[in-house]
Every structure is written in structure tokens, then in C-alpha cells.
Chain A
């Protein structure tokens, strides 16, 4: 059938065969691919790096932003804790009572900031002075101390911790993505 020959060379069609024979002189004759210039070769290699030139600064910006945010949060949390402790300290004496055996710097949870201390030594009016005195007194032992927080203070503290954890997870996602893209670029790529 003529249409079959025209479609997939099956069968026979003398007219089409004659036309093909005449036109065969114009058929493509295999030649080598054009030589790529040095610039084009460099461009192809640079193509691999272009993505890195975008991702690396972006990743660096995210890391720096996260570090700054973390420092800001930490500073803010330090200030909040400081305020909390100064608020606590303003209601408690600077030194512990030897009779009770309480360690210096230990805050009795039951003596929450809302409770007025039974004793109040002179010169405790300024919370910052009290805080400074307390810091000098407790020194490194402050690390092991768990300050008693009000409900609002604990909520603020939890929000800070949540923000820091979100920032950390975002950083990990970006890092995984960059590492994954690098692996794909170096290996074979089968996209879509």
C-alpha cells in the first residue's frame, strides 16, 4: 500500500522511490560535531559552579541570620532571666540563713517571687544591686540552679526555645538540600 511505504517504508511505491533516489544527494552526510571552544568548555564547567555561587551565599546568609537570631534570642533570654532573677532577688535576702542550711544562691521554689521574704536586709531596694551582689555570691554555682518561673515567664521561655529549635531545623533542611544538589550534580541526573 502506497501510504504504508510513505509512512514506514513497508511495501513498495515506485514513484516515491524515484523521488527518494533523486533527493538522496541532499541527504545528511555524517560529519564530526563542531569543536567546542575553550570558552564554551569553561562555560560548561562554570555552569556546575553557578548554582553554588547562588546557594553558598544564600546558605551563608541563612546561617549568619540564624546565628544572629540565636544570639539575639539568647541575649533576650538572658535579660529576661536576669529580670526574673532580679525580681526574685528583690524579694529575698542576699545571704542565706545558716540556721536553715540553704545554699547560697538556691531559690526556694516555694518562696516564689510573689511571696515576701520574712527578712529584708537593708540596701535591697535596688534590684540591680541585689542582682550584682547575688552574682558575686553564687559564682559558677548558678549553672546548676533552676530558677522558679511564673506561668508567663515559663511561657516566654518556652517560646524562645521553640524559636531556636525552628531555626535549627530550617538550617538542617537547607544544608540537606545543598548536599543533595551537590550529589546530583556530580552523579548522573535523571530528572522529571
Chain B
């Protein structure tokens, strides 16, 4: 049952992310700039998984969805400030990071993820522990790993969406994964 739900989510997610090349970004950005609300919905559908991952690695899980929605509203209001339409994804990521910083500046500290899921099944507890470990990694590693391991994006997709070079993404994935294995005590990690 759980695996079926996971497969269904992956299918929906993959369909939403199938076409997000730079040409699509340019077209989307231009349409959103002209006030096309349908384009805004399409932008949301295309980039929400990316923004979700960026925010997830920074704020408590219960706050992630609201902040993701706020990021897109902010993006819509400030779309005219986007100069390079090809870098729409990277621009959205920047808004998401700023919003996450603002969250801690304005909101009182909330329960951490591990406390939020306390009392639930051990599966969720293990997931919470892994996510907390991910959050403790250096920023360049944790963001890339969350997009890969949680959101299921490939290395090329991460590079294109965030504006990083594929080589940088590969290094971040490899080194980040090694560090994660070490901290989780997974067999085979390089010490």
C-alpha cells in the first residue's frame, strides 16, 4: 500500500517535471510577466517540487507547504525583477532561501521535525532522523541531496533547475552522500 502510494506520487511528480528546459522557463517567465494566470499555475506545477526541496531542508516540515505557496506568490508579485528569464528556476530558489531566512527572523521557534513526528510509526521516526541528518550537512550538499533523495530529481535536472554546473552537482551529490553515510553510520561509508 505504502509502495503503491509512493509510486503514484512519483508518477505525478515526474509528469509535472517532464519538460522544464530553459526554453520552457523563458516562455513561462514571459507569460507570467504579461499577467497570464494560467502560466502562473503552470510555473507552480513545474517548479513546486524544486522549491519544496529547497524549503524542506531549511524549515520544519509542518511549515514547508505554506512557505512554498508564499514563495510563488512573492515570485508572481516580483516577476518583473527577473532579468534573465532562462534562470527562472535559480531565481525561484533564491526567493525560497530568502523566505526561509525570513521565517526564522519573524517566527518563534517551532517544534523540530523529530518532535513533530514523535509517537508515530518507527518508519516515520527513521525518516525524521535521516532528514535531520541531511539538514546538518553543509548547505551545498544538503540542498542537492534533498532534491535527489527526497524530490527524486536527477543530477541533470538539479543542475538545470538550480543553475549549477552539472559537474558541481555531481561533486555535491557524491561528497554529500559520503558524509551522510558516515553520519548515519551506514556500512561502507568512507571514514
Cβ of A93 to closest chain B Cβ, rounded Å: 73
In the bound assembly, the distance between CA atoms of A34 and B155 in angstroms comes to 29
Does B69 contact A34, Cβ atoms closer than 8 Å?
yes
> Which partner residue on chain B sits nearest A21 by CB separation?
B6
Which of B47-55, B92-100, B103-111 has 4 or more CB atoms under 8 Å from chain A? B47-55
B34/A33 in contact, CB under 8 A: no
Contact, CB under 8 Å: A191 / B9:
no
Knowing A41-B37, A190-B26, the reply to whether A22 touches B61 (Cβ < 8 A) is: no
A45 interface hit (Cβ, 8 Å): yes
B119 within 8 A of A: no
| A contact residues around B34 at 8 Å (CB) | 44, 47-48, 185, 189
Of the candidates B30, B70, B150, the one whose C-beta lies within 8 Å of that of A188 is B30
Q: How far is the CB of B134 from chain A (nearest CB, A)?
A: 8
Question: Smallest CB-CB separation from A45: which chain B residue?
Answer: B35
User: In this complex, what residue of A is CB-closest to B50?
Assistant: A28
A188 to B29, CA, bound (A): 11
Q: Does A123 make an interface contact (CB < 8 A)?
A: no
Judge whether A44 and B76 touch: CB under 8 Å. Answer: yes
Q: Which residues on B sit within 8 Å (CB–CB) of A9? A: 154
Q: Are A22 and B127 in contact (CB under 8 A)?
A: yes
Residues of B close to A47: CB separation below 8 A:
33-35, 80
Interface size on A, residues (CB 8 A): 37
Does B143 sit within 8 A of A, measured CB to CB? Answer: no
Question: Given A6, A23, A32, A190, which contacts B127 in the complex, CB threshold below 8 Å?
Answer: A23
CB atoms of B37 and A7 under 8 A apart: no
Q: Which of B9, B61, B180 has the most CB of A within 10 A?
A: B9
Partner of B131, one of A16, A23, A29: A23
Residues of A within 8 A of B6 (CB): 21, 24
Given the known inter-chain contacts A7-B155, A15-B181, A48-B35, please indicate yes or no for A40 contacting B73, CB distance below 8 A. yes
Residues of B with C-beta under 8 A to A151: none
Closest to B36 in A: A44
Complex contacts, B12 vs chain A, CB 8 Å: 30
Contact A6 B174 (CB under 8 A): yes
Given the interface pairs A7-B170, A8-B154, the reply to whether A34 lies near B30 with Cβ below 8 Å is: no
Contact B86 A192 (CB under 8 A): yes
Nearest CB in chain A to that of B43: its residue: A33
Which A residues are CB-close (under 8 A) to B70? 34
0/1 interface trace, chain A 1-31, chain B, CB 8 Å (1 if under): 0010011110000011001111111111111
Among B68, B150, B151, B173, residue most surrounded by chain A Cβ atoms (within 10 Å): B150
Q: Which residues of B1-50 are within 8 A (CB) of A?
A: 6, 9-10, 12-13, 16, 26-27, 30-31, 33-35, 37, 40-41, 43-45, 48-49
Q: Which residues of A contact B130 (CB under 8 A)?
A: 19, 22-23
- Measured in the bound complex, the distance between the Cα atoms of B118 and A98 in whole Å is 121
Q: Which residues of A contact B187 (CB under 8 A)?
A: 15
Given A23-B149, A30-B13, A45-B35, 15 new contacts (CB under 8 A) = A8-B155, A9-B154, A19-B130, A19-B184, A20-B149, A25-B127, A26-B131, A27-B10, A28-B53, A30-B12, A31-B65, A33-B44, A34-B44, A47-B80, A190-B27
